[in-house]
């Protein structure tokens, strides 16, 4: 894992290195989340767990190799997404059926993840890429989001702040997002995909009032399109929000491997547009 990240960094030369992991949250003695008692009885995953240690080990290797050259942020999924994955994607339904029990489980995961992000900073990360799920308008009501999702998100982000993170990037993931609900989340920059029925870059920049990241459709021209379409997308994004307080990037994780050459197309187009 570490070698793959370092090799890609060397070839593509991004302005910051986002470390990706899709490891599931792994609580001890886990037997599933089907009943309210399962959520209430969920135990924290200790920092010594194999999943956490694997990620920390890889992160340390990356930081040792390139930490003096580039800012490193490591992916952390929010508590809701962490439990949605291990509940066979039933967390949304169960939250509506027995919210207080699910809330207890989310609190437990937030506690574990808070310890984990502190360890990530100690391991050499400059901050976290916080993948926040659960904010879709069609998924949860405002009340559900404010009571049962947001508090646990904030707990993890504040842990990163308290650990001294220099750069935390909030990624608001999904379609038809209630993006304004994230306006007060503590993060240095914010990323989302306007192409998924969400607020435009310029709209988001107004209510986030901080650096925003995005502009490229993660499933669009950057994957397989001709250079001309990639350049057009870059020019459109910069034309919309300008060059200050804006980092050009994808709206979400790219859906397949993208060659460093294509990343270079984006860089050259951005530099050319910025010089106009």
CA 245 vs CA 121, 196, 205, 217: distances in Å: 25, 22, 9, 19
Q: In this structure, are residues 156 and 130 in contact, taking their beta carbons and an 8 Å threshold?
A: yes
Digit-coded pLDDT (tens) for 172-201: 999 999 999 999 999 999 999 998 899 999
- The pTM is what? 0.96
Cβ contacts of 242 within 8 Å, gap of 6 or more:
none
The residue-averaged pLDDT of 128-143 equals 96
Provide CATH code, domain 2-173: 3.20.20.210
Distance CA 78, CA 25 (A): 10
Cβ contacts of 111 within 8 Å, gap of 6 or more:
44, 155
Digit-coded pLDDT (tens) for 101-126: 999 999 999 999 999 999 999 999 99
Cβ contacts of 121 within 8 Å, gap of 6 or more:
127, 160, 163, 164, 165
User: What are the structural domain ranges in the chain?
Assistant: 2-173, 212-276
Digit-coded pLDDT (tens) for 195-246: 889 999 999 999 999 999 999 999 999 999 999 999 999 999 999 999 999 9
Q: How confident is the model at residue 276 (pLDDT cuts 50, 70, 90)?
A: low
What local confidence, expressed as pLDDT, does residue 265 receive?
96
């Amino acid at each position: 894992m570490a070698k793959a990240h370092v090799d890609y960094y060397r070839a593509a030369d991004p302005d910051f290195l986002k470390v990706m992991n899709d490891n599931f949250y792994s609580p001890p003695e886990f037997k599933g989340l089907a009943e309210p008692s399962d959520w209430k009885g969920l135990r924290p995953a200790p920092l010594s767990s194999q999943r956490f240690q694997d990620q920390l080990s890889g992160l340390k290797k990356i930081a040792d190799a390139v930490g003096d050259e580039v800012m490193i942020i490591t992916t952390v999924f929010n508590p809701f997404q962490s439990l949605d994955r291990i509940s066979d994607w039933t967390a949304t339904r169960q939250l509506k059926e027995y919210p207080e029990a699910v809330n207890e489980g989310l609190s437990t995961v937030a506690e574990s993840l808070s310890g984990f992000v502190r360890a990530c900073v100690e391991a050499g990360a400059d901050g976290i890429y916080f993948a926040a799920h659960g904010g879709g308008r069609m998924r949860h009501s405002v009340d559900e989001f404010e009571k049962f999702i947001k508090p646990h998100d904030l707990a993890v982000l504040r842990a990163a702040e308290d650990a001294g993170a220099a750069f935390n990037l909030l990624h608001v993931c999904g379609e038809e997002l209630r993006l304004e609900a994230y306006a007060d989340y503590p993060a240095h920059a914010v990323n989302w995909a306007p192409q998924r029925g969400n607020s435009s870059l310029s709209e988001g920049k107004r209510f986030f009032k901080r650096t925003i990241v995005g502009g490229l459709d993660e499933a669009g021209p950057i994957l397989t399109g001709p250079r001309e379409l990639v350049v057009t997308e870059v020019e459109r994004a910069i034309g919309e929000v300008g060059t200050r307080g804006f980092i050009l990037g994808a709206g979400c994780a790219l859906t397949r491997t993208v060659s460093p050459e294509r990343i270079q197309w984006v860089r050259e187009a951005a530099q050319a547009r910025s010089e106009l």
